Amino acid sequence: MSSHKAKKMFGQNFLVDQTIIADIIAAIRPEAADNMVEIGPGLGALTRPLLKKLDRLHVVEIDRDIIARLQNDYPQDQANVKLVIHAGDALEFDFSTLDQPLRIVGNLPYNISTPLLFHFAASSGRITDMHFMLQNEVVERMVAEHSTPAYGRLSVMLQYRFAMEKLLDVPPESFRPAPKVHSAIVRMMPLPAEQILVRDEKRFAAIVATAFGQRRKTLRNTLRTYLGESDFARLGIDPQLRAENLAVGDYIRVANYCAE
């Protein structure tokens, strides 16, 4: 088949650095019987080495040209298909249709990475772990500690559900075409259900979004529809603080207090 040209509409940048690819596979540690799904296999940089280790791999791909290439390389009409191709948008794919628990991997398109992360967060109870390549700036926000510049809504909304760590830096020259940004690999491990202490998830999400909506303002101003002076006193939170000064546990306390 002819070489595939990266498409801007799908945010495509294809990983070509064999050393980085080997490091990613080593970090994932695939086992033969794993229920693994890859988001956006692209030209197969991770797909091929994963298939060497796995009995079966599911892939979700939106690009029709890449789907045709995969179908050519891995015919789908045999009884025991090693690569199962799901054509469509990962944001709309129902991951509950696959065998559980799932391990999810992928080089996530930068233009839809945040909505995809929230999509997976909603299914975290069905997931063992996730390994994603993302824009480094996004990974830094995901793993940021409170009272640091990178800490924000994304940090809080993911950290209350996942233990996360940044594993590898991936420079632009590891891709074709080279993106204008640096990338990184992040590992996300869903926390056990008993460690997720939020009672009302919608209220929690609304409070976090409201606090960070005007992050230069104090909590007294941003959360005034939720908390009065006496509420701040009861919670032991200084209303002069700003959104980034509250740890994830503080947001959980505020949301649960408001739920009562």
Interval 25-39: pLDDT, tens: 999 999 999 999 999
Residue 5: the pLDDT is 53
CATH fold, domain 201-259, is Helicase, Ruva Protein; domain 3 (1.10.8)
Q: Are 184 and 134 in contact (CB under 8 A)?
A: yes
* Per-residue pLDDT tens digits for 200-257: 999 999 999 999 999 999 999 999 999 999 999 999 999 999 999 999 999 999 999 9
CB burial readout 65-94, b (16+ within 10 A) else e: ebbebbeeebeeeeeeeebebbbeebeebe
Q: What is this structure's pTM?
A: 0.91
**Residue ranges of the domains in the chain?**
8-194, 201-259
**Predicted pLDDT at 12:** 58
Q: How far apart are CA 140 and CA 20, in angstroms?
A: 19
- Positions of E strands within 52-190: 57-61, 83-87, 102-107, 127-135, 162-170, 175-176, 183-190
Confidence of residue 1 (pLDDT cuts 50, 70, 90): very low
Q: Bin 14: left if φ > 0, else alpha if -120 < ψ < 50, else beta.
A: beta
Whole-angstrom Cα distance, residue 236 to residue 246?
Answer: 12
Q: What is the pLDDT of residues 32-75, one digit of tens each?
A: 999 999 999 988 999 999 999 999 999 999 999 999 999 999 88
Q: CATH fold of 8-194, please?
A: Rossmann fold (3.40.50)
| pLDDT tens figures, 161-178 | 999 999 999 999 999 888
